[in-house]
Amino acid sequence: MEIEFPKLNLHIHSTYSDGRNSIEQIVKSGMKTELDYICITDHFTNSWKADHIPNLNNLDKIKRYLEELDQFKMFLVNENKNLTLFRGIEIDLGSSEKFIISNIVPHMYDLIFFEYLESFEGIAFVKKILDPWKKNCTDFPLIGLAHFDPSFFITRGLDVLLEFLKEYDVIIEFNSSYPQFYSPKYEIFYNKLKERGIKVSIGCDSHHISSLNDIESPYKMIDFYNLEENLKTLIESLEIKRITYLNKS
Ligand SMILES: [Zn+2]
């Protein structure tokens, strides 16, 4: 399986939040790996977490972050590198709706992750964010759930969640830093992802360049649950984003 698929790590933190390395160090280090796609997804929050971790908490900082990502995206294209960089962000669902809406312009990102979706209220909250975005946005980013913990929905019912994932085309991430969420005790959930054709992605939650390439375990779990087609669909979407960008630049 590992030979057939491009290699991706779509969950990386830089010094714009709690990562140890600059965007430049991540990109340069990514070029030395066999990775094909990376996405930098720094934290965005105004929950209690905001007091504990540096994050993208104001428009000025977000602007600099996006400019720097653009600069390195362009660099990789101009240098004809195999590596593709995507612009991402990881939104803490403990943040207020107003804070999210007033700071995030969706089309500026290739991928937006939400973290900590763990209740039916959480689904309603994300829909409230996505609905107006979808209405006003043509170049819509990929939307995903970072290191998703299926336990609440396994006990309380999967249908509402699965309907939401399907309707809003939401990706479920396989994250090497959270192996407990991919335990065979959640098999029913992963079987349903397969049945419904929900996209899956791969990320390491890298906070240091030493873990950029820790992609083996998520690939193994995707293989274990026979979700190869679901990964393929995601890769097709990434390719569309990559080619659209090439044509624009
Ligand atoms: Zn993260």
What was the pLDDT predicted at 217? 96
Kindly report the pTM of this predicted structure.
0.97
249 — pLDDT class (breaks 50, 70, 90): confident
* Ligand 1 mean position, distance from CA 203 (Å): 9
Q: What is the pLDDT of residues 163-214, one digit of tens each?
A: 999 999 999 999 999 999 999 999 999 999 999 999 999 999 999 999 999 9
Sheet order of strands, 8-12 included: 8-12, 37-44, 84-92, 111-115, 142-145, 170-175, 200-203
φ, ψ for residue 176, nearest 5 deg = -65, -15
Both structure tokens of 133:
């975005």
Q: How far apart are CA 247 and CA 219, in angstroms?
A: 30
Q: How many helices (H) and strands (E) does the chain have?
A: 9, 7
* Ligand 1 mean position, distance from CA 90 (Å): 6
Q: How far apart are CA 3 and CA 39, in angstroms?
A: 21
Q: How far apart are CA 89 and CA 12, in angstroms?
A: 9
CB within 8 A of 103, min separation 6: which ones?
44, 56, 58, 59, 62
Phi/psi region, residue 85 (left: phi>0; alpha: psi -120 to 50; beta: rest), is beta
* Ligand 1 mean position, distance from CA 149 (Å): 14
Mean pLDDT within 51-80: 96
Q: Is pLDDT above 70 for 1? A: no
- Name the residue ranges covered by the structural domains of the chain: 8-248
Q: How far is CA 91 from the centre of its chain?
A: 10
Q: How far apart are CA 246 and CA 144, in angstroms?
A: 23
Q: What is the pLDDT of residues 221-248, one digit of tens each?
A: 999 999 999 999 999 999 999 999 999 8
* Ligand 1 mean position, distance from CA 205 (Å): 5
What was the pLDDT predicted at 2? 46
* Ligand 1 mean position, distance from CA 239 (Å): 23
- The answer to whether 41 and 113 are in contact (CB under 8 A) is yes
Q: How far apart are CA 5 and CA 3, in angstroms?
A: 6
Q: What is the pLDDT of residues 105-152, one digit of tens each?
A: 999 999 999 999 999 999 999 999 999 999 977 789 999 999 999 999
Write down the architecture of domain 8-248 according to CATH: Alpha-Beta Barrel (3.20)
* Ligand 1 mean position, distance from CA 16 (Å): 12
Both structure tokens of 145:
């759930």
* Ligand 1 mean position, distance from CA 131 (Å): 24
What was the pLDDT predicted at 76? 97
What was the pLDDT predicted at 138? 77
